[in-house]
Structure 1
Amino acid sequence: MFRPVPVPELPPSTALADLAMTRDDHAWLAGTTGVFTSRPSTPLVLRWTGADWTEETLPDLPTAASLAGISAAAPDDVWAVGNTAGHPLVLHYDGTRWHTVTTPRIPWAKAVAAITPDDVHVVGTGADTLHWDGTTWTRTTVLTSARETLQTITACGPDDVWAGGSGLTGAGPATYEYPVLVHWDGTTWTDLHGPRLDHGHIAALAADGPHDVWLAHARHADGLQIHHYDGDRWHPVPPPTDEDRLSLHGVAARWTWGVRATRHTFETRPAYHHWTGQEWTEHPLPDDLARTSASHVGLATDGTTTWAYLKTAAGVHVLRHTTA
């Protein structure tokens, strides 16, 4: 079962976005405070100290800002990305403090994959990616259409990175969205890899190695569809079933998360499912959280330790599960 761990009291205007971890029991949770208020929004990062979660001191920013993604290559090499004043916000933690990093401009940084200190990829709204080689940032136009954009990324290694998003085609009532999936081989990005997908967009990517990549494909009519890459080809994976209305929000390596709504109610209760290799099994939560309406649900895992987060009317909750 997931066990709750201490979290600092955060304002009700907090929105949670993403969670990153390393295999030596370090973890970071990114989000934004001041959402939908009269105050400027500000980035938020919480760090797991081994005993509790504490709020990090971030650089002062002159304008409103938000965070959308976070990734950690090591305890002293953490990257968080988002948006401020219409341009990308990139923050870096060096083990001592957080710094604002200047990059080439893309409309909005949505996700980051930190592989090593000299190998970091950032994707965001638009057709371009950013790559840090330890010395210089390089902006590369990856997508072929101005109506295509990326929003999620995952890395198996320096020569094995996946990024996904969507594109639009047609005009007026005939406009429809289609998924976009590209792969980095260490030298170039190509769109030659991926499952055969119909309308919709790539909502999430996650990997635990080159033979274990997970993809969430969102279609408006069908919800989130899951695919798995075994190093050779992509396979569809049936989503979890539930007697209530289950809405999946994301996928990690062998995990999904989302919310369920019981019939005749607008309450959305958190739901986390783990893939056994044959089927999905729901992972239990403490009774008080299992019965509580929640939002901003998310999860990250390294195969041994799994962190989950959610937000209820009572505040932000972070839970931990370990198989060791």
Structure 2
Amino acid sequence: MFRPEPVPVLPPSTALADLATAGEDHAWLVGTTGVFTSRPSTPLVLRWTGDTWHEEPLPDLPAPASLAGVTATAPDDVWAVGNSGGRPLVLHYDGTTWRTLDTPPMTWAKAIAAVGPDDVHVVGAGRDGLHWNGTTWHARTVLSSARENLQTLTPTGDGRLWAGGGGLAGVGAARYEYPVLVRWDGHTWHDLPGPHLERGHVARLAAAAPDDVWLAHARDTHELRLHRWTGSAWHEVPSPDAPDRLSLHGVAAGWTWGVRAGHRSFDTRPAFHRWTGADWAPVPLPDDLAGTSASHVGLTTTGATTWAYLKTAVGVHVLRHTAP
């Protein structure tokens, strides 16, 4: 079962975006406050210190800002990405202080991942991504078309990265979305053959190892289908069974998350499932959360420790699951 860990009281305007870990006792949750209000939006970072979650002090910014992703290679090497004033916003944590880093322009930053302290990548809308080489940021061509975009990025543990998203083809009523999958080989980006996917986009990627990559594919109906790369071939993984309507939001290595609703209800209750090797098993939640409508549901795992987050009418909740 997931065990709740206390978090600071946050305003109702908080939107949660992403979570990253560095080992079993270090984790960071990023998001934005002031969403859909008359106040300027501001970035939010919560840090797990090993005992509690607390809100991190961040640099002052000259324009409204939001955060979309976070990654960590070590407790003293954490990166967060978002957007501010029409430009990418990149924050770096050195174990003591968060600071902003100047970057080249980019259409819209959506995800960040690090292979190492001197090999960090940002992807998003448009053909170009950003690459940190340990000294400075450079723009790099990632995609072949300006009508394509990337929204998910994962390192595979062998110095490589996989990124996924979608592109648009056709015009007018004949326009459709197609999946995009690319890989960083340590030097450049290449198109990567994926599973045979219908129209839609790659919504989420997660890797436990170079030969264990999980992919969530969103079709035009917004239903997620799951696939797993085992080193030589893609295999479709059945979606979790549920007694009511289940809407998957994402996949991690051996986990899924989303919300479910009764057939006569619009309440969306959080749902987490763990892969047993043959099928999915629901993971129980504390009673006060299991029956509560939730949004902004997400999860990340190190294997032994899994962190999940969700937002209810009461506030933000962070849960911890430790493998037996």
**What TM-score results when the alignment is normalised by the length of structure 1?**
0.98
CA RMSD across the alignment = 1.0
- The one-character-per-residue Cα deviations of 1:261-301 (angstroms, maximum 9, x if unpaired) are 11111100000000011000000000110000000000010
- The one-character-per-residue Cα deviations of 1:215-273 (angstroms, maximum 9, x if unpaired) are 11001326001111111121111111112110000111110000001111110000000
- The one-character-per-residue Cα deviations of 1:171-229 (angstroms, maximum 9, x if unpaired) are 00100000100011112211133112110011111111101111110013260011111
1:97-176 mapped onto 2 (5 Å cutoff):
97-157=97-157, 159-176=159-176
1:119–1:158 CA contact under 8 A, matched in 2: no
1:237-252 mapped onto 2 (5 Å cutoff):
237-252=237-252
AA of the residue aligned to 2:299: L
- The one-character-per-residue Cα deviations of 1:135-157 (angstroms, maximum 9, x if unpaired) are 12221112111111111100013
1:168-247 mapped onto 2 (5 Å cutoff):
168-221=168-221, 223-247=223-247
CA distance in 1, matches of 2:243, 2:36: 34
Query: What secondary structure sits across from 1:246 in the alignment?
Result: strand
2:71–2:80 CA contact under 8 A, matched in 1: yes
1:279-318 mapped onto 2 (5 Å cutoff):
279-318=279-318
Following TM superposition, the consecutive aligned residue runs of length 4 or more in structure 1 with deviations greater than 6 angstroms are: none
1:158 is displaced (CA, Å) by 5.5
- 5+ residue gaps, structure 2: none
Give the aligned partner of residue 68 of structure 2. Answer: 68
Give the aligned partner of residue 6 of structure 1. Answer: 6
Query: What secondary structure sits across from 2:289 in the alignment?
Result: helix
Query: What secondary structure sits across from 2:209 in the alignment?
Result: coil
CA distance in 2, matches of 1:263, 1:323: 33
1:298–1:310 CA contact under 8 A, matched in 2: yes
CA distance in 1, matches of 2:77, 2:222: 38
AA of the residue aligned to 1:315: G
Q: Identical aligned pairs, as a percentage?
A: 70
Give the aligned partner of residue 78 of structure 1. Answer: 78
- 5+ residue gaps, structure 1: none
Query: What secondary structure sits across from 2:288 in the alignment?
Result: helix
Change (3 A) 1:78 1:220: same
- Equivalenced residue count is 324
1:44 is displaced (CA, Å) by 0.1
2:126–2:145 CA contact under 8 A, matched in 1: no
AA of the residue aligned to 1:183: R
Query: What secondary structure sits across from 1:208 in the alignment?
Result: strand
Give the aligned partner of residue 38 of structure 1. Answer: 38
Query: What secondary structure sits across from 2:36 in the alignment?
Result: coil
**What TM-score results when the alignment is normalised by the length of structure 2?**
0.98
AA of the residue aligned to 1:317: H
CA distance in 1, matches of 2:201, 2:192: 17
CA distance in 2, matches of 1:55, 1:114: 23
Query: What secondary structure sits across from 1:145 in the alignment?
Result: coil
Change (3 A) 1:222 1:15: closer
CA distance in 2, matches of 1:109, 1:45: 17
